[in-house]
Amino acid sequence: MLDEKDKSALHDFLLREGLKFSAQRLKVLEVVRRGARHLTAGEIYKHTQAKYPGIGYATIYRTLRLLCQAGLCVELKCEDGVCRYEYAGGAVHHDHLICTKCGRIVEVVDPEIERLQERLFKVNGFLPQRHRMELYGICNRCKK
């Protein structure tokens, strides 16, 4: 169900941190890996229930945090106050273009913007860590 690469990336991370492997953690990774992108914790909970009945909400949240630390997942704090998660194993950074009518999310990346962001960090004496850029507008389907 899951690439060996993903599974061993999880294993390696757990070992490195002195943590333990579990079926639950693997199932959550599977859902994040195979499911749609930008799922909420609640959606991930439901999908994981199908593969592992009885799993609890707390485990979903704990595991998502773990996967983020392992670099296998990225958390996106949305304007509606709900976090969404997406698989990030070996994926490149990207930003989001979001339709305010239908909620459609398009992933974008502009190398020139990325470069200018780095410059902003430097000019202001900051050590760059990460950034978040969300562009809100109305998509072509909703413009009519």
Partner DNA sequence: TGATATCTTGATAATGATTCTCAAGTTCAA
Partner DNA sequence: TTGAACTTGAGAATCATTATCAAGATATCA
Q: Which listed residue (25, 33, 47, 96) binds DNA by CB under 7 A?
A: 25
**40 near DNA, rule: CB under 7 A:** yes
What gap in Å lies between CA 43 and CA 35, rounded to an integer? 10
Helix (H) or strand (E) holding 83: strand 83-87
**124 near a copy of itself, rule: CB under 8 A:** yes
**Residue number, 5 or 65, with CB nearest to DNA:** 65
**106 near DNA, rule: CB under 7 A:** no
Half-sphere exposure of 105 (CA within 13 A, CB side): 16
Q: Which of 72, 73, 41, 40 lies closest to 55, judged by CA?
A: 41
Residue 107 interacts with, from a copy of itself, DNA, Zn ion, none (CB under 5-8 Å by kind): Zn ion
**15 near DNA, rule: CB under 7 A:** yes
Half-sphere exposure of 92 (CA within 13 A, CB side): 7
**102 near a copy of itself, rule: CB under 8 A:** no
